[in-house]
Structure 1
Amino acid sequence: MKYYIFLLFLVVLLQINAQVVSNPAELQTAISNAKAGSIIELVDGVWQDVQVSINVNATNSQPCIIKAQNPGKVFFEGRSNISLGGSYIIFEGVIFQNASGLISSNDRIEPVIEFRDTSNNDCEHCHVRNVKIDTYNGTSSQEEDVFKWVIIYGAYNEVSYCSFLGKNGVGSIINDNHNNSTPDYSKIHHNYFADRVPVGGDVNGLNDQDAIRIGVSSRSLTDSFTEVYDNFFNNWAGEVEIISNKCGSNKYYNNSFRDYQGTLTLRHGNNTEVFGNYFFGNNNPFSGGIRIIGEDHKVYNNYFQDLNYRKPSGSGSNTTGALNVSNGKPDSALNEYYQVKNVQIINNTIVNSDYAIRVGTKTNSTLTLAPENVLIANNIMLNSSISAFQEITPPIGTSKYEGNITQNGNWDLTNGTNSNQTVASGLLTSGSDFYRLPLGSAAINAGIGSFSFLTKDILYGNREVSFDAGAEEYGANGSVGPYKATDVGITIGFGALNSLAVGQLNFKKNEIKLYPVPSNGVLNLMKSNTIIGDVKIYDALGNLLYTDIINTNTAKIDISHFSSGVYLLKTNKAFSRFVIAQKS
Structure 2
Amino acid sequence: MKNYLPVLMLLLVVNVKAQIVSNNTELENAISNAQAGTIIELANGTWTNVQLSINVSATELQPCVIKAQNPGQVFFEGRSNISIGGSYIIFEGVIFQNASGLITDDGRIEPVIEFRDTSNNDCFNCIVRNIKIDAYNGTSSQEEDVFKWVIIYGAYNEVSYSSFIGKNGVGSIINDNHNNSTPDYSKIHHNYFADRDPVDNDVNGLNDQDAIRIGVSTTSLSDSFTEVYDNFFNNWSGEVEIISNKCGSNKYYNNTFRDYQGTLTLRHGNNAEVYGNYFFGNNNAFSGGVRIIGEDHKVYNNYFEGLRYRKPNGSGSSTTGALNVMNGQVNSALNGYYQVKNVQVVNNTLVDCDLGIRVGTSLSGATLEPENLTIANNIILDSDDNAFQILTMPSGNSINEGNITQNGSWDLANGVNSNQTVMSGLLTIGSDFYRVVTGSAAIDAGVGNYPFITQDILYGDREVDFDAGAEEFGAGGSVGPYEFADVGNSLGFGAFNPLSVSDFSIDNNQIKLFPIPSKGSLTILKEHGSIGEIKLYDVQGKLLYTQNINLNKARLDISNYEAGVYILKTSKTAIRFVID
TM-score after normalising by structure 1: 0.89
Q: Is residue 14–residue 39 contact of structure 1 (8 Å, CA) maintained in 2?
A: no
- Note the 1:294-443 alignment, pairs <5 A: 294-364=294-364, 366-443=365-442
Q: Which residue of 1 aligns with 2:485?
A: 486
Q: Which residue of 2 aligns with 1:202?
A: 202
Q: Which residue of 2 aligns with 1:144?
A: 144
- 2:46 is equivalent to residue 55 of structure 1: no
Q: Is residue 534–residue 568 contact of structure 2 (8 Å, CA) maintained in 1?
A: no
* 2:373 counterpart SS class: strand
Shift in CA distance, 320/531, structure 1 to aligned 2, threshold 3 Å? same
Q: Which residue of 2 aligns with 1:514?
A: 511
Shift in CA distance, 48/548, structure 1 to aligned 2, threshold 3 Å? closer
- 2:34 is equivalent to residue 34 of structure 1: yes
* 1:329 counterpart SS class: coil
* 1:179 counterpart SS class: coil
**Alpha-carbon offset, residue 449 of structure 1:** 1.1
| Paired amino acid for 2:388 | F
Q: Which residue of 2 aligns with 1:506?
A: none
**Alpha-carbon offset, residue 166 of structure 1:** 0.3
**Alpha-carbon offset, residue 555 of structure 1:** 5.7
Shift in CA distance, 575/471, structure 1 to aligned 2, threshold 3 Å? farther
Deviations along 1:394-426, one digit per CA (max 9) or x if unpaired, are: 000000100000000000000000000000000
Aligned pairs, how many? 550
| Paired amino acid for 1:576 | T
* 2:417 counterpart SS class: helix
| Paired amino acid for 1:486 | A
* 1:30 counterpart SS class: helix
- 2:172 is equivalent to residue 175 of structure 1: no
- 2:441 is equivalent to residue 472 of structure 1: no
Q: Is residue 512–residue 575 contact of structure 1 (8 Å, CA) maintained in 2?
A: no
Q: Is residue 162–residue 494 contact of structure 1 (8 Å, CA) maintained in 2?
A: yes
Shift in CA distance, 466/69, structure 1 to aligned 2, threshold 3 Å? same
CA separation in 1, counterparts of 2:513 and 2:319? 64
CA separation in 1, counterparts of 2:183 and 2:551? 45
* 1:27 counterpart SS class: helix
**Alpha-carbon offset, residue 432 of structure 1:** 1.1
Deviations along 1:193-245, one digit per CA (max 9) or x if unpaired, are: 00001000000000000000000000000000000000000000000000000
Q: Which residue of 2 aligns with 1:166?
A: 166
| Paired amino acid for 2:216 | V
* 1:195 counterpart SS class: strand
**Alpha-carbon offset, residue 52 of structure 1:** 0.3
**Alpha-carbon offset, residue 553 of structure 1:** 3.4
CA separation in 2, counterparts of 1:527 and 1:515? 8
CA separation in 1, counterparts of 2:395 and 2:493? 47
| Paired amino acid for 1:432 | S
Q: Is residue 283–residue 306 contact of structure 1 (8 Å, CA) maintained in 2?
A: yes
Q: Is residue 529–residue 551 contact of structure 2 (8 Å, CA) maintained in 1?
A: no
CA separation in 2, counterparts of 1:353 and 1:84? 44
* 2:342 counterpart SS class: strand
Shift in CA distance, 527/483, structure 1 to aligned 2, threshold 3 Å? farther
**Alpha-carbon offset, residue 547 of structure 1:** 12
CA separation in 1, counterparts of 2:190 and 2:405? 34
* 1:28 counterpart SS class: helix
User: How well do the aligned residues superpose, as a CA RMSD in angstroms?
Assistant: 3.0
Q: Which residue of 1 aligns with 2:254?
A: 254
Q: Is residue 523–residue 553 contact of structure 2 (8 Å, CA) maintained in 1?
A: no
- Note the 1:37-186 alignment, pairs <5 A: 37-186=37-186
Q: Is residue 535–residue 550 contact of structure 1 (8 Å, CA) maintained in 2?
A: no
Shift in CA distance, 308/42, structure 1 to aligned 2, threshold 3 Å? same
CA separation in 1, counterparts of 2:144 and 2:469? 42
Q: Which residue of 2 aligns with 1:217?
A: 217
Q: Which residue of 1 aligns with 2:574?
A: 577
* 1:200 counterpart SS class: helix
* 1:443 counterpart SS class: coil
| Paired amino acid for 1:381 | I
**Alpha-carbon offset, residue 546 of structure 1:** 12
CA separation in 2, counterparts of 1:112 and 1:409? 47
Q: Report the more deviating stretch, 444-453 or 420-429.
A: 444-453
CA separation in 2, counterparts of 1:375 and 1:200? 39
Deviations along 1:447-472, one digit per CA (max 9) or x if unpaired, are: 00111110010000000000000000
Q: Is residue 83–residue 113 contact of structure 1 (8 Å, CA) maintained in 2?
A: yes
**Alpha-carbon offset, residue 513 of structure 1:** 3.0
TM-score after normalising by structure 2: 0.90
Q: Is residue 512–residue 576 contact of structure 1 (8 Å, CA) maintained in 2?
A: no
Deviations along 1:316-375, one digit per CA (max 9) or x if unpaired, are: 0011000000000000000000000000000000000100100010123x2110000000
CA separation in 1, counterparts of 2:306 and 2:537? 46
Note the residue ranges of structure 1 that are not aligned, 5 or more in a row: 1-12, 503-508, 558-564
Percent identity reads 71
